[in-house]
Protein backbone atom coordinates (compact mmCIF):
# COMPACT_ATOMS: atom_id res chain seq x y z
CA UNK A 1 0.00 0.00 0.00
CA UNK A 2 1.34 3.47 -0.86
CA UNK A 3 1.94 6.21 1.69
CA UNK A 4 -0.59 9.07 2.08
CA UNK A 5 1.89 11.69 0.78
CA UNK A 6 2.58 9.67 -2.38
CA UNK A 7 -1.16 9.09 -2.88
CA UNK A 8 -1.89 12.84 -2.54
CA UNK A 9 0.95 13.67 -4.97
CA UNK A 10 -0.25 11.24 -7.64
CA UNK A 11 -3.89 12.33 -7.34
CA UNK A 12 -2.85 15.98 -7.69
CA UNK A 13 -2.19 15.21 -11.36
CA UNK A 14 -5.94 14.83 -11.94
CA UNK A 15 -7.47 18.22 -12.71
CA UNK A 16 -10.84 18.76 -11.10
CA UNK A 17 -13.50 21.39 -10.86
CA UNK A 18 -14.07 23.08 -7.53
CA UNK A 19 -17.33 22.95 -5.60
CA UNK A 20 -18.66 24.22 -2.32
CA UNK A 21 -21.11 21.86 -0.64
CA UNK A 22 -23.68 23.75 1.41
CA UNK A 23 -26.38 22.81 3.91
CA UNK A 24 -28.11 24.35 6.91
CA UNK A 25 -27.40 22.92 10.34
CA UNK A 26 -30.09 21.85 12.84
CA UNK A 27 -30.44 25.49 13.98
CA UNK A 28 -30.95 26.73 10.41
CA UNK A 29 -27.48 28.29 10.08
CA UNK A 30 -25.79 27.89 6.69
CA UNK A 31 -22.56 25.92 6.63
CA UNK A 32 -20.36 24.58 3.87
CA UNK A 33 -17.05 23.19 2.69
CA UNK A 34 -14.91 23.15 -0.42
CA UNK A 35 -14.84 19.80 -2.23
CA UNK A 36 -13.13 18.64 -5.40
CA UNK A 37 -14.11 14.99 -4.87
CA UNK A 38 -17.40 15.35 -6.75
CA UNK A 39 -18.76 13.50 -9.78
CA UNK A 40 -21.90 12.44 -11.57
CA UNK A 41 -23.07 8.87 -10.93
CA UNK A 42 -26.20 8.32 -13.01
CA UNK A 43 -28.38 10.10 -15.56
CA UNK A 44 -31.55 8.15 -14.76
CA UNK A 45 -32.15 8.88 -11.98
CA UNK A 46 -29.90 11.97 -11.87
CA UNK A 47 -27.35 11.14 -9.15
CA UNK A 48 -24.09 12.75 -8.01
CA UNK A 49 -21.66 11.97 -5.24
CA UNK A 50 -19.37 13.99 -3.06
CA UNK A 51 -16.71 12.75 -0.62
CA UNK A 52 -16.42 14.61 2.68
CA UNK A 53 -13.73 14.31 5.35
CA UNK A 54 -15.10 13.29 8.74
CA UNK A 55 -13.13 16.16 10.34
CA UNK A 56 -14.78 18.86 8.19
CA UNK A 57 -16.64 21.51 10.21
CA UNK A 58 -19.76 20.99 8.09
CA UNK A 59 -19.68 17.19 8.30
CA UNK A 60 -22.16 16.89 11.22
CA UNK A 61 -24.75 19.08 9.46
CA UNK A 62 -24.30 17.22 6.18
CA UNK A 63 -24.56 13.84 7.89
CA UNK A 64 -27.69 14.86 9.80
CA UNK A 65 -29.43 16.55 6.87
CA UNK A 66 -31.70 15.12 4.22
CA UNK A 67 -30.58 17.54 1.48
CA UNK A 68 -27.47 19.42 0.38
CA UNK A 69 -26.44 21.76 -2.42
CA UNK A 70 -23.45 21.59 -4.75
CA UNK A 71 -22.21 24.99 -5.89
CA UNK A 72 -19.87 24.66 -8.89
CA UNK A 73 -17.50 27.60 -8.66
CA UNK A 74 -16.58 29.93 -11.49
CA UNK A 75 -13.08 31.21 -12.21
CA UNK A 76 -13.63 34.40 -10.19
CA UNK A 77 -14.49 32.49 -6.99
CA UNK A 78 -11.06 31.32 -5.87
CA UNK A 79 -11.36 33.40 -2.67
CA UNK A 80 -14.70 31.72 -1.91
CA UNK A 81 -13.11 28.30 -2.38
CA UNK A 82 -10.24 29.19 -0.06
CA UNK A 83 -12.64 30.55 2.56
CA UNK A 84 -14.75 27.38 2.61
CA UNK A 85 -11.62 25.17 2.62
CA UNK A 86 -10.17 26.59 5.84
CA UNK A 87 -10.92 25.39 9.36
CA UNK A 88 -9.88 28.75 10.84
CA UNK A 89 -13.19 30.53 10.15
CA UNK A 90 -16.29 29.66 12.15
CA UNK A 91 -18.88 31.47 10.00
CA UNK A 92 -17.72 30.88 6.45
CA UNK A 93 -20.83 32.63 5.06
CA UNK A 94 -19.93 35.96 6.70
CA UNK A 95 -19.58 38.39 3.78
CA UNK A 96 -20.32 35.72 1.14
CA UNK A 97 -23.49 36.50 -0.83
CA UNK A 98 -25.95 33.63 -1.02
CA UNK A 99 -29.65 32.92 -1.44
CA UNK A 100 -31.76 30.30 0.32
CA UNK A 101 -33.42 28.05 -2.25
CA UNK A 102 -37.04 26.87 -2.04
CA UNK A 103 -35.58 23.70 -0.45
CA UNK A 104 -33.95 25.85 2.25
CA UNK A 105 -30.43 25.27 0.91
CA UNK A 106 -27.83 28.04 0.75
CA UNK A 107 -26.85 28.71 -2.88
CA UNK A 108 -23.76 30.84 -3.47
CA UNK A 109 -24.42 33.87 -5.65
CA UNK A 110 -22.46 33.95 -8.91
CA UNK A 111 -21.62 30.23 -8.85
CA UNK A 112 -21.29 28.69 -12.30
CA UNK A 113 -23.99 26.12 -11.46
CA UNK A 114 -26.09 24.80 -8.57
CA UNK A 115 -27.41 21.32 -7.85
CA UNK A 116 -29.92 20.79 -5.05
CA UNK A 117 -29.79 17.18 -3.92
CA UNK A 118 -31.73 14.81 -1.68
CA UNK A 119 -29.38 12.48 0.16
CA UNK A 120 -30.23 8.95 -1.02
CA UNK A 121 -27.24 6.98 0.23
CA UNK A 122 -24.27 7.37 2.56
CA UNK A 123 -21.13 5.21 2.54
CA UNK A 124 -18.46 5.44 5.24
CA UNK A 125 -15.09 4.72 3.62
CA UNK A 126 -11.78 5.36 5.38
CA UNK A 127 -11.59 8.91 6.75
CA UNK A 128 -14.34 10.18 4.41
CA UNK A 129 -18.04 9.65 3.84
CA UNK A 130 -19.45 9.37 0.33
CA UNK A 131 -22.78 11.17 0.05
CA UNK A 132 -24.92 10.17 -2.94
CA UNK A 133 -27.49 12.78 -3.87
CA UNK A 134 -30.45 12.71 -6.23
CA UNK A 135 -30.62 16.03 -8.07
CA UNK A 136 -33.99 17.68 -7.40
CA UNK A 137 -33.28 21.14 -8.88
CA UNK A 138 -30.44 22.58 -10.92
CA UNK A 139 -29.31 25.77 -12.58
CA UNK A 140 -26.36 26.49 -14.88
CA UNK A 141 -25.01 29.92 -15.73
CA UNK A 142 -22.35 31.29 -18.04
CA UNK A 143 -18.64 31.65 -17.39
CA UNK A 144 -15.48 29.63 -16.93
CA UNK A 145 -14.95 27.05 -14.17
CA UNK A 146 -12.44 27.25 -11.36
CA UNK A 147 -10.02 24.32 -11.74
CA UNK A 148 -7.68 22.70 -9.20
CA UNK A 149 -4.54 20.98 -10.50
CA UNK A 150 -1.27 19.91 -8.86
CA UNK A 151 -2.04 21.69 -5.62
CA UNK A 152 -3.07 25.05 -7.06
CA UNK A 153 -6.00 26.84 -8.64
CA UNK A 154 -5.91 27.11 -12.40
CA UNK A 155 -8.09 27.85 -15.40
CA UNK A 156 -8.96 26.16 -18.66
CA UNK A 157 -6.82 27.40 -21.51
CA UNK A 158 -8.60 28.89 -24.49
CA UNK A 159 -12.23 29.74 -24.99
CA UNK A 160 -15.01 27.23 -24.44
CA UNK A 161 -18.17 27.31 -26.55
Domains in the chain: boundaries: 4-36+58-116+138-152
pLDDT tens sequence for the chain (161 residues): 999 899 988 988 888 999 999 999 999 999 999 999 999 999 999 999 999 999 999 999 999 999 999 999 999 999 999 999 998 998 999 999 999 999 999 999 999 999 999 999 999 999 999 999 999 999 999 999 999 999 899 888 765 55
- Domain 4-36+58-116+138-152 in CATH 3.10.20.30: no
Is 73 in contact with 19 (CB distance < 8 Å)? yes
Distant-in-sequence, close-in-space partners of 36: CB < 8 Å, separation ≥ 6: 16, 17, 18, 19, 148
Where helices occur in the chain by DSSP H, the ranges are 4-11, 59-64, 78-85
What's the first-to-final CA gap in the chain, in angstroms?
Answer: 42
Distant-in-sequence, close-in-space partners of 44: CB < 8 Å, separation ≥ 6: none
Condensed to tens digits (0 to 9), the pLDDT of residues 95-141 reads: 999 999 999 999 999 999 999 999 999 999 999 999 999 999 999 99
The whole-model pTM stands at 0.93
Amino acid sequence: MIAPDEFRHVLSHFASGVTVITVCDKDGRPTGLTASAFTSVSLDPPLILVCVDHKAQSYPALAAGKMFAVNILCLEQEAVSRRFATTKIDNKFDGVPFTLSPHGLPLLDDALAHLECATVNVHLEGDHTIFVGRVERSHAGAGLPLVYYRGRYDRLSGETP
